[in-house]
């Protein structure tokens, strides 16, 4: 399987997927840490995280897959949601919580 096929499999078989720098327990950038903090605040307990620093082929692969230039990237039920800024805005408006409630992650 090539990187694009693996990414597609990851985002479609896990309800909540975060491509990030580092891990949820040890984020390696402030934006990734912020995204994890928001997901934790939303009660997500079934987060599938991919560390793009540990798996370099995913660092560019996920950018190509989503056509989005930055990391972290959040996917819910196979749909690309956005990066740290969009996740933050959606959380502040309550939209992210509603979206995550519809996910099978809770």
Binding-site residues for [2Fe-2S] cluster, in ranges, read: 29
Classify residue 97 as left (phi > 0), alpha (psi -120 to 50) or beta.
alpha
What residues are designated binding site?
Answer: 29
From edge to edge, which strands make up the β-sheet containing 79-82?
Answer: 47-51, 16-20, 73-76, 79-82
Asked if residues 10 and 17 have their Cβ atoms less than 8 Å apart, the reply is: yes
Q: Residue 1 corresponds to which tokens in the numbers above?
A: 């399987």
Beta carbons within 10 angstroms of residue 46's beta carbon = 11
Q: Are 15 and 46 in contact (CB under 8 A)?
A: yes
């Amino acid at each position: 399987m090539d990187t694009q096929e693996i990414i597609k499999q990851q985002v479609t078989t896990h309800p909540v997927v975060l491509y990030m720098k580092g891990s949820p327990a040890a984020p390696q950038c402030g934006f990734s840490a912020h995204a994890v903090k928001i997901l934790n605040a939303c009660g997500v307990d079934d987060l599938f995280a991919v560390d793009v620093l540990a798996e370099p082929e995913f660092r560019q692969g996920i950018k190509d897959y989503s056509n989005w230039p930055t990391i972290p990237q959040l996917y819910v039920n196979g749909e690309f949601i956005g990066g740290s800024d969009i996740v933050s805005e959606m959380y502040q408006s309550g939209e992210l919580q509603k979206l995550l409630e519809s996910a099978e992650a809770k």
